[in-house]
């Protein structure tokens, strides 16, 4: 199986369109989406529609749940909470219903798909340190777990002795005796100081994983955020990649 894994689109239609075009150009038939379709950006309905139409699997993110009052928005920072309120006013009934139907995790072949963590995915915890990643390997059975949530692309492996480390190559081979947690980064709001949209290609035939970065029309996405009345800091951070 060959698939594209996308996550954290955050209503950024410009970034999503570029990513989908690249996926089509590479003739990848399967797209798995790890959630946070909305929040922060100016095109929630378009992003929900496109993600649902193009993806074989879509799991829920914390912003998706917050928009339909399933996640506690008081845990969000003030700007994120304001963006959720704005999104709730914009979102169509049909769009909200689509978000209500999203599952928290999904297994396909040898892959585990979840937005935040395999353990208690509804708690929306972040994995940053190697120790935090290490604890999660016992919480799924598949060889590879794909996550999003932090907006920082990275791959961590665990060998058959339990040793964990960061994968330093890109692309990198899937080694038979290793298991992986791969953060696919964010399509619509990268936070690793690289403002380009991020997604991942999984090639189960060639046993290979690659993190892809793509330029998109950031000024247009920023203009829409400002014209739409969303907090300006949300426009600034797209260019900064943080
Ligand atoms: Fe997110």
Dist. CA 239 → ligand 1 center (Å): 17
Region 103-131 average pLDDT: 97
Q: By three-state DSSP, how is residue 91 classified? A: coil
Domain boundaries, the chain: 2-240
Q: pTM for the full model?
A: 0.97
Kindly give the distance from the C-alpha atom of residue 177 to the centroid of ligand 1, in angstroms, as a whole number.
31
Domain covering 2-240 in this structure, CATH number: 3.60.21.10
Point out which residues pair with 144 in neighbouring strands: 111, 180
Cα 160 to averaged position of ligand 1 atoms, centre (Å): 31
* Sequence-ordered strand ranges (E) for the chain: 2-6, 30-33, 57-58, 105-108, 111-114, 144-147, 154-158, 164-166, 172-173, 179-183, 197-203, 208-214
Under 8 Å between Cβ of 197 and 151: no
User: Would you state the pLDDT for residue 209?
Assistant: 98
Residue 10 DSSP label: T
The secondary structure of residue 59, as a DSSP letter, is B
Tell me, in angstroms, the distance from the centre of ligand 1 to residue 161's CA: 33
pLDDT at 224: 98
If you measure from the C-alpha of residue 164 to the centroid of ligand 1, how many angstroms do you get, rounded to a whole number? 25
State the average pLDDT for the chain: 97
pLDDT digits (tens, 9 = 90+) for 219-230: 999 999 999 999
What secondary structure letter does DSSP report for 40?
S
142-187: pLDDT as tens digits: 999 999 999 999 999 999 999 999 999 999 999 999 999 999 999 9
Q: Which helix (H) or strand (E) holds 202?
A: strand 197-203
Dihedral of alpha carbons 233, 234, 236, 241, sign:
positive
pLDDT at 151: 98
**Nearest Cα to 115, choosing from 60, 47, 170?**
60
Q: What's residue 45's pLDDT?
A: 98
43-90 pLDDT tens trace: 999 999 999 999 999 999 999 999 999 999 999 999 999 999 999 999
Interhelix angle 44-54/13-25, nearest 10 degrees: 20
Interatomic CA distance for residues 170 and 81, integer angstroms? 35
Q: Give the pLDDT mean for 22-30.
A: 97
CA of 187 to the centre of ligand 1 (A): 10
d(CA 211, CA 50): 21
Q: How far is the CA of 75 from the centre of ligand 1 (A)?
A: 14
Distance 186 CA to ligand 1 centre (A): 7
Nearest-angstrom CA–CA distance, 198 and 19: 8
| Structure confidence at residue 91 (pLDDT) | 97
Percent with pLDDT over 90 in the chain: 99
Task: Write down the pLDDT at residue 119.
Answer: 95
Q: How far is CA 117 from CA 61, 193, 236, in A?
A: 11, 23, 28
Say how many Å lie between the CA of residue 188 and the centre of ligand 1: 9
Q: How far is the CA of 148 from the centre of ligand 1 (A)?
A: 7
| pLDDT (0 to 100) of residue 47 | 98
pLDDT for position 199: 98
For ligand 1, the distance from its centroid to the CA atom of residue 56, given in whole angstroms, is 20
Give pLDDT, residue 65: 98
Compute, in angstroms, the gap from residue 206 CA to the centroid of ligand 1.
Answer: 30
Q: Using the mean position of ligand 1's atoms as its centre, give its distance from the Cα of residue 110 in Å.
A: 24
Ligand 1 center to 120 CA (angstroms): 17
CA–centroid distance, residue 122 to ligand 1 (Å): 14
pLDDT tens track for 118-127: 999 999 999 9
Cβ-count burial of 234 within 10 angstroms (0-12 exposed, 13-18 middle, 19+ buried)?
buried
């Amino acid at each position: 199986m060959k698939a594209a894994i996308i996550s954290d689109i955050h209503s950024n239609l410009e970034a999503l369109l570029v990513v989908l075009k690249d996926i089509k150009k590479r003739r990848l038939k399967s797209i798995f989406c790890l959630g946070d379709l909305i929040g922060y950006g100016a095109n929630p309905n378009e992003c929900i529609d496109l993600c649902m139409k193009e993806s074989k699997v879509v799991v829920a993110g914390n912003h998706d749940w917050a928009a339909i009052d399933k996640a506690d928005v008081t845990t969000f920072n003030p700007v994120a909470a304001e963006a959720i309120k704005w999104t709730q006013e914009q979102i169509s009934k049909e769009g909200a219903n689509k978000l209500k139907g999203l599952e928290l995790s999904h297994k396909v072949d040898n892959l585990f798909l979840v937005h935040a963590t395999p353990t208690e995915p509804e708690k929306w915890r972040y994995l940053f340190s190697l120790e935090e990643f290490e604890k999660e390997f016992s919480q799924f059975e598949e060889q590879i777990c794909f996550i999003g949530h932090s907006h920082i692309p990275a791959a961590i492996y665990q060998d058959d002795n339990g040793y964990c480390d960061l994968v330093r190559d890109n692309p990198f081979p899937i080694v038979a005796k290793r298991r992986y947690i791969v953060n696919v980064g964010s399509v619509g709001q990268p936070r690793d100081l690289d403002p380009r949209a991020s997604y991942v290609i999984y090639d189960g035939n060639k046993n290979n994983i690659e993190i892809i970065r793509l330029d998109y029309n950031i000024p247009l996405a920023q203009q829409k955020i400002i014209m739409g009345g969303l907090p300006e800091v949300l426009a600034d951070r797209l260019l900064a990649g943080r």
